[in-house]
Amino acid sequence: MHCEKCDATAIISTNNGTFCKEHFIKNFERLTLYTIEKYALIRKGDTIGVANSGGKDSLSLLYIISKYFRDTNKIVSITIDEGIEGYRNKTIETMKHFCAEWGVQYRIYSYKEYSGMSMDKITRVRKGIPCSICGVFRRQLLNSAAKENRVDKLATAHNMDDEAESVIMNLFQNDFEKLIRLGPTSGLRTDDGFVSRIKPFIFINEKETAMFAFVKGINALHTPCPYSGFGFRGVIAKGLRELETTTTGAKRNIVNRMLELKAGHATIANSEFLHCSICGAPSSGTVCGACAMKRELANKA
């Protein structure tokens, strides 16, 4: 198999093209920068927060953002430490090293500090699927961390696989409003309490972020979370992987149709958020999901 741009042997073939190492790197960076420009994800002077889990996707994103924006923008790498034994400890050391090497500020925020309990303890005192509480806390803590660091845009490394999964999950759960909150910039509505989230990798396949990290020598540690088997996302991800093998471009089509749907429902953007009466964060009710869970955990401590 040959590269579509030259005679060299191809190292990857996806719905974004078939490329040799050199043209793959060029195309990967070009596509990321094109997404940033097309959707106006970053403006000169913005403080950019990068949500950094230490995985191949987030380190590749941190690499590109620091390569292209460190001369014009302040960059802060933010890690959430869930407090899961053996899961985050090693990656935090790797990330500290990367950030020091690339001259990026590094901040760590823990569930223990935020809610009084590590994720390991939460799973011991509270029944139910760990990911549901973990997801709510991560979202809220990332937002408050971003605000504390005066971040204008919080970049996450969600790729096309993640986004297609989210679209299908919201369809199955019949949650239309959540569905049209997806896209290169999260949400339809703006609020002073909510830091805008951006997804520069939304048109890049997971396979490509893995290959990019590999060819760039970005040594991301991959330790699976011990609670990861519980989620609905895993089921959808498996189905979509199978679908993509028989219908090339299925994930891209799912993401593109969602963007069209979102564009057609822009009027929802005019409605306002409520604010949590406890922490003040934008919320769909009078108490946000994170504060409701913290209150529940306080009774179990």
For residues 221 and 94, the answer to whether their CB atoms sit within 8 Å is yes
Assess 135 for contact with ligand SF4 (CB under 6 A).
yes
Q: Quick one: 19 or 69, whose CB is closer to Zn ion?
A: 19
Q: CA 224 to CA 219: how far, in whole Å?
A: 15
Q: Is 129 left (phi over 0), alpha (psi -120 to 50) or beta?
A: beta
Q: Quick one: 6 or 263, whose CB is closer to Zn ion?
A: 6
Q: CA 203 to CA 163: how far, in whole Å?
A: 9
Touching ligand SF4, residues 242-281 (CB under 6 A): none
Out of 227, 240, 273, 287, which residue is the one contacting ligand SF4 (CB under 6 A)? Answer: 227
For residues 78 and 49, the answer to whether their CB atoms sit within 8 Å is yes
59-95 per-residue burial string, b: 16 or more CB within 10 A, e: under 16: bbbbbbbbeebeeebbbbbbbbbbbbeebbeebbeeb
Q: CA 183 to CA 106: how far, in whole Å?
A: 26
In the list ligand SF4, Zn ion, none, the entry touching 220 (Cβ below 5 to 8 angstroms by class) is none
Nearest Cα to Cα of residue 95 among 109, 113, 112, 108: 108
Touching Zn ion, residues 117-176 (CB under 5 A): none
Q: Enumerate long-range contacts of 108-111, CB under 8 Å, 24 or more apart.
A: 108/78, 108/79, 108/80, 108/81, 109/78, 109/79, 109/80, 109/81, 109/141, 109/142, 109/144, 109/145, 110/80, 110/81, 110/82, 110/83, 111/80, 111/81, 111/82, 111/83, 111/137, 111/141
Out of 225, 290, 291, 293, which residue is the one contacting ligand SF4 (CB under 6 A)? Answer: 225
Q: Quick one: 91 or 283, whose CB is closer to ligand SF4?
A: 91
Q: Quick one: 133 or 281, whose CB is closer to ligand SF4?
A: 133
Assess 228 for contact with ligand SF4 (CB under 6 A).
yes
Q: CA 219 to CA 97: how far, in whole Å?
A: 11
Q: Quick one: 138 or 252, whose CB is closer to ligand SF4?
A: 138
In the list Zn ion, ligand SF4, none, the entry touching 195 (Cβ below 5 to 8 angstroms by class) is none
State the residue for tokens 């802060």. 76
Q: Specify the pairing of strand 12-14 against strand 153-155.
A: unpaired
In the list ligand SF4, Zn ion, none, the entry touching 232 (Cβ below 5 to 8 angstroms by class) is none
Which 8-state DSSP code applies to residue 78?
E
In the list ligand SF4, Zn ion, none, the entry touching 227 (Cβ below 5 to 8 angstroms by class) is ligand SF4
Touching Zn ion, residues 244-283 (CB under 5 A): 276, 278-279, 281
At 105, phi and psi to the nearest 5?
-65, 145
CB of 201 to ligand SF4, least distance (A): 18
Assess 211 for contact with Zn ion (CB under 5 A).
no
Q: Quick one: 68 or 230, whose CB is closer to ligand SF4?
A: 230
Q: Specify the pairing of strand 105-110 against strand 74-81.
A: parallel
Assess 23 for contact with Zn ion (CB under 5 A).
yes
Region of 139-147, 154-162, 225-233, 248-256 interacting with ligand SF4 (CB under 6 A): 225-233
In the list Zn ion, ligand SF4, none, the entry touching 8 (Cβ below 5 to 8 angstroms by class) is Zn ion
In the list Zn ion, ligand SF4, none, the entry touching 214 (Cβ below 5 to 8 angstroms by class) is none
Out of 49, 54, 55, 130, which residue is the one contacting ligand SF4 (CB under 6 A)? Answer: 130
By CB under 6 A, name the binding residues for ligand SF4.
82, 130-131, 134-135, 225, 227-228
Contacts with Zn ion, residue ranges (CB under 5 A): 3, 5-6, 8, 20, 23, 276, 278-279, 281, 288, 291
